[in-house]
Amino acid sequence: MKVLEDLKYAKGHEWVRVEGNKAYIGITDFAQDELGDIVYIELPEVGAHVEVDDIIGSIESVKAAADVYSPVSGEIVEVNEELETSPELVNEDPYDAWIAVVEMTDSGELDNLMDAEEYEKFCEEEA
């Protein structure tokens, strides 16, 4: 399982990469491995306002379907449209294949997320 040091992690197995006031959100390597071959990703609407733990999309694989939750509050300002035609990119590199970008309204919410070490321990407990 690959966990990147410079990201924050949510209990729903979403990762967050912060660039200024923007939070890039995707699913973790652990999540994509559990799902198996991803065949479809439903992306959120640009302009939608989300709160922490709101569903921002869903992922379907050959084994299961899973919702994607927002780890932060704010406005969705961008979605990764490439995933509409190539959802398998999440399997190939889950940390490059982000799903949405949220312009955060409260960067303090990041303090509620796990760092890489905490997330690794969390995954070990779940396995």
For residues 43 and 65, what is the distance between their CA atoms, to the nearest angstrom? 14
Tokens of 70: 């927002």
Q: Which domains does the chain have, with CATH numbers?
A: 8-112 (2.40.50.100)
For residues 114 and 74, what is the distance between their CA atoms, to the nearest angstrom? 19
Q: Which residues contact 6 (CB under 8 A, 6 or more apart)?
A: 17, 116
What integer pLDDT is reported at residue 31 of this predicted model? 96
User: Residue-wise pLDDT tens for the chain (127 aa)?
Assistant: 899 999 999 999 999 999 999 999 999 999 999 999 999 999 999 999 999 999 999 999 999 999 999 999 999 999 999 999 999 999 999 999 999 999 999 999 999 999 999 999 999 998 7
Residues 99 and 12 sit within 8 Å (Cβ to Cβ): no
